[in-house]
Amino acid sequence: MHKLISAGLLGCALLATASASAQDTIPTVGPQDGWAVHDSDKLYQELVDDVKAAAENSELGVVTEAGPTQAAADRGIEIPGNRVIGLFNNDYAVRILQVSTAAMIEAPIRMYVTEAPDGTATLSYKLPTYVYEPYREEGGEALATAAEELETDFAAVAAAALE
């Protein structure tokens, strides 16, 4: 019986150590080519909520949302907050499809909220002009214009969320 209890306690200790080390070893997002990366003083959940509210009050809307944090917690693994929020709108979808069917694989474009060890969060996203660059030859100036407009919309959402 004591061996069973000892093994159980050891398992719990190992799981706690694995959880702590997983949280400590996951890096935050830093500068990346073609990305906008904004550190903030906001707490993780506050920034997630503010990104969604800013998107709903913009030309864009929240189309998708996903993250591994809760699923990991359900498995007993603690990782920092991590949320991907896909933003787009139907006007952009129609315009992009008119010039490049292949480019639509990139929709929605995502904003990424990551939690730092101190509980604050970083907001990052790939710049739409960077995302659509591989399709530029096919989509031409119309795709470039849509990407530039999307970039303006994303910057506005980011600015509002970070206020």
- What pLDDT does residue 112 have? 97
- Cβ(100)–Cβ(143) below 8 Å: yes
Q: How far apart are CA 77 and CA 73, in angstroms?
A: 5
pTM score of the predicted model: 0.80
For 5-64, the pLDDT digits (tens) are 444 444 444 444 444 444 455 556 666 789 999 999 999 999 999 999 999 999 999 999
**Per-residue pLDDT tens over the stretch 74-119:** 999 999 999 999 999 999 999 999 999 999 999 999 999 999 999 9
Query: Which backbone phi and psi does 50 adopt, to 5 degrees?
Result: -70, -35
Using DSSP bridges, classify how beta strands 35-43 and 61-66 pair: parallel, antiparallel or unpaired: unpaired
Confidence of residue 1 (pLDDT cuts 50, 70, 90): low
pLDDT at 26: 57
Three-state SS string over the chain comes to CHHHHHHHHHHHHHHHHHHHHHHHHCCCCCCCCCEEEEEEEEEHHHHHHHHHHHHHCCCCEEEEEECCHHHHHHCCCCCCCEEEEEEECHHHHHHHHHHCCHHHHHCCEEEEEEECCCCEEEEEEECHHHHHHHHHHHHHHHHHHHHHHHHHHHHHHHHHHHC
pLDDT of 158 over the 90 cut? yes
Identify the pLDDT of residue 29. Answer: 64
**pLDDT value at residue 44:** 96
The 10s digit of each residue's pLDDT in 111-147 is 999 999 999 999 999 999 999 999 999 999 999 999 9
Q: Which CATH architecture group holds 2-162?
A: 2-Layer Sandwich (3.30)
Strand partners, 111: 85, 125
